[in-house]
Structures are given as structure tokens and as C-alpha cells.
Amino acid sequence: MKIILASGSPRRRALLKDLGLAFDVYSPNADETHIPDEAPEALCVRLSRLKAESAAQKFPDAVVIAADTIVVIDGQILGKPANRHDAVRMLTMLQGREHEVLTGVCVISHGKVLSCAERTLVKFRALTNDEITAYSETGECDDKAGAYAVQGKGALLVESISGDYFNVVGLPLCRLGIMLPEAGVNLLA
């Protein structure tokens, strides 16, 4: 059975590879515009589904996996920073506080659509302005929701995690392990 990861994320590719899953990558072009007043959970589920549907149209006989991760603090959605100044702004908001990481996951197989959102709470330690600036200058925050990568130097910012660590990386593996058998893929076999 052909499996398609509908994501250009190297982190998601590495996570699936670590599971021993054979798959191909397709990076769909999905409109990631937020709908006004759309709840964060609904947003990440909708975006993951848009990506999965785009890939499923191109690969109708494959099992398609897609995901979309966002960071939420005080009801505000933090996507990928536009630039270093934006990254500093986000990291300043997160420092010393707890926030949510939400990942919408969608699996499509032969017309069957499975989708959900996984939620993990992350608490940053208190950071100085110099630490925030230094981290933003590593470039690691580029192209990362909330402007940090927990699997890299961003781990130095995190005081605690409650929930699926892999969700914070960008793909909740436990949840995916529950969804894939429903699509005919058993990762434990």
C-alpha cells in the first residue's frame, strides 16, 4: 500500500522514517489563510484536511497523511514568524508562560477521511532579552510555529511538557498510531 506524507516538513519526514514507514512525500499548495473567528483547533484540523485532500486527489489509491501545527497563547494563534523581529515578539510572549501546541492530523484512505487535533501544553522558562535574541539569531525559529524547535536548541527554553512530545515536533505519533490502522496501516505489525 502506497503511503504519501502531504508535508514538506523535514521533521515530519524524520518522525515517519524513525517508525520504519515507507512513504513518498508530496508538498501540497494549500491556502493557509485563517478564517475570522475560527477556533484554533478547527483551524489546524481544517488545514490538515485541505493538505490531505489535495494529495488524495493526486494519489487516489494511496493512504495520505497530513498535519498542521500551530501554537496558541491567550487565544492568539502563533504560526510561523515572518522574520527575526516577529520571532523575537513570539518568544517574548511565550517566555515564562504555558502555551498550547495544537496539531491537526488527517489521514485519507480510499475515500475514508479521519481527522482530529492533538493538544500538548508547553511551559517556557523565564528568559532574558539576550537569550531570546540569541535564540532567534540561530535561525532555528525560522519556519516553525511559535518560533521554536523543541527538538533542537529550543529544548533549552522548555521547562515542561504535558502531553505528546512528538506533537510539539509536528506530528503526534501516538494519535497517528491509532488512526493508521483504521486506514489499513498497522505500524506495530
Q: According to the model, what pLDDT value does residue 31 have?
A: 82
Of these residues, 18, 24, 31, 68, which one is catalytic? 68
C-alpha cell at 76: 492568539
- Are 132 and 95 contacting, i.e. CB atoms less than 8 angstroms apart? yes
61 is catalytic: no
The number of C-alpha atoms within 13 Å of 52 and in the hemisphere containing its C-beta is 27
Q: According to the model, what pLDDT value does residue 178 have?
A: 94
Whole-angstrom distance, CA of residue 176 vs CA of residue 115? 10
Q: Please identify every stretch of the chain with a pLDDT value under 50, giving residue numbers as ranges.
A: none
Stated pTM of the model:
0.93
Q: According to the model, what pLDDT value does residue 34 have?
A: 82
Cα–Cα–Cα angle for 163, 67, 123, nearest 5°?
Answer: 30
Architecture of domain 3-182: Alpha-Beta Complex (3.90)
3-state secondary structure 86-131: HHHHHHHHHCCCEEEEEEEEEEEECCEEEEEEEEEEEEECCCCHHH
Closest by CA to 167, choosing from 68, 32, 98, 30, is 68
Domain boundaries, the chain: 3-182
